[in-house]
Structure 1
Amino acid sequence: MRRITRNLVLGILVVVVLLLALGALPSYLRSGDPYYLTATEAPSYEGPTVDVTDLSERRFPYTTEAIADGRSAAYYEGPTGFKEAFTHSPFDELNELDQRDGNAASGDGAVNGTTAYVTSGGTVYRVELVRGAH
């Protein structure tokens, strides 16, 4: 009975270590040029916007950083598509903004997968997904 218990505990530890590795490994996978979210003020824009005043920094790290600093941290795609299934990306954030307000999906340049017009603290920003070198 002791041998079975030891093997069971070792099996559980192996599974836990593999799950932890799957959670950490994708952030180290990089290929190609990085993607960034950039935010620029758009005072003359009068179309539909998504109100992001109360966005959580933990749930929307790329968007909140872009609004605060003008550009978010870099996001690199994985070489095989494996990373995208396990990590949060600026693409996810733009899709979420699109789902938050269906009206913002209409109009020229509104949420369309690469660009969104958002309102934060009464200021309108054009948040855009850009790909480029460091």
Structure 2
Amino acid sequence: MRPVTRTFLAAIIVVLVALLALGALPSYLGSGDSYYLEAAPAAEADGPAYELNATDGGVDEQRFQYFFSAVESSDGRSEAYQRGEYGLKEQFTHSPFDELATFREFAPPDAVDGDAVFVRYNDTRYRVTVVQP
């Protein structure tokens, strides 16, 4: 094999390994304080809300993992999420900010309350927001 070919193949392998690392490592790049998605039952059970259905065959559980983590926890908070330095992590990972943005986008306008969004799941209306303790 010629040296030029060997160098070219080595460069391709290095690029592939770097791309794999970028896809696999962002969850470990977190820094700073933790953020949580908080889902607290709303004081008013009736009212406008984003309707979240659990009949989609598990799709919602994968799409809204922070919301379901918050609903199932004893304190109403999801697992912790740390932002990455330089905005690198946010490009490759799913975050509670993504879920809140989805709720905001598809919720009726009067279901949005400042930084919070009302979400109805299993006949319970939750006030959902991202918090940083």
* Alignment partner, residue 60 of structure 2: 56
* 1:124 maps to amino acid: R
For residue 51 of structure 1, report the CA deviation from its aligned partner: 0.9
Matched, 1:94 2:85: no
Identity of aligned residues (%): 45
The CA distance in 1 between the partners of 2:100 and 2:113, in whole Å, is: 7
Whether the 8 Å CA contact 1:43–1:123 is kept in 2: the answer is: no
The CA distance in 2 between the partners of 1:60 and 1:9, in whole Å, is: 41
Whether the 8 Å CA contact 2:38–2:130 is kept in 1: the answer is: yes
Contiguous gaps of at least 5 residues in structure 1: none
Alpha carbons of structure 1 residues 16 and 42: separation in structure 2 relative to 1, 3 Å? same
The CA distance in 1 between the partners of 2:113 and 2:103, in whole Å, is: 7
For residue 43 of structure 1, report the CA deviation from its aligned partner: 4.8
Aligned ranges 1:25-64 → 2 under 5 Å? 25-54=25-54, 56-64=60-68
Contiguous gaps of at least 5 residues in structure 2: none
Aligned residues: 126
For residue 124 of structure 1, report the CA deviation from its aligned partner: 0.9
**What do the CA deviations read for 1:97-119 (whole angstroms, capped 9, x no partner)?**
11223x1x325xx265x311111
The CA distance in 2 between the partners of 1:58 and 1:23, in whole Å, is: 18
Alpha carbons of structure 1 residues 19 and 111: separation in structure 2 relative to 1, 3 Å? farther
The CA distance in 2 between the partners of 1:85 and 1:46, in whole Å, is: 37
The CA distance in 2 between the partners of 1:118 and 1:88, in whole Å, is: 19
* Alignment partner, residue 120 of structure 2: 119
Alpha carbons of structure 1 residues 57 and 9: separation in structure 2 relative to 1, 3 Å? farther
**What do the CA deviations read for 1:29-86 (whole angstroms, capped 9, x no partner)?**
2322100011111252433100112362222111111122221110111122222222
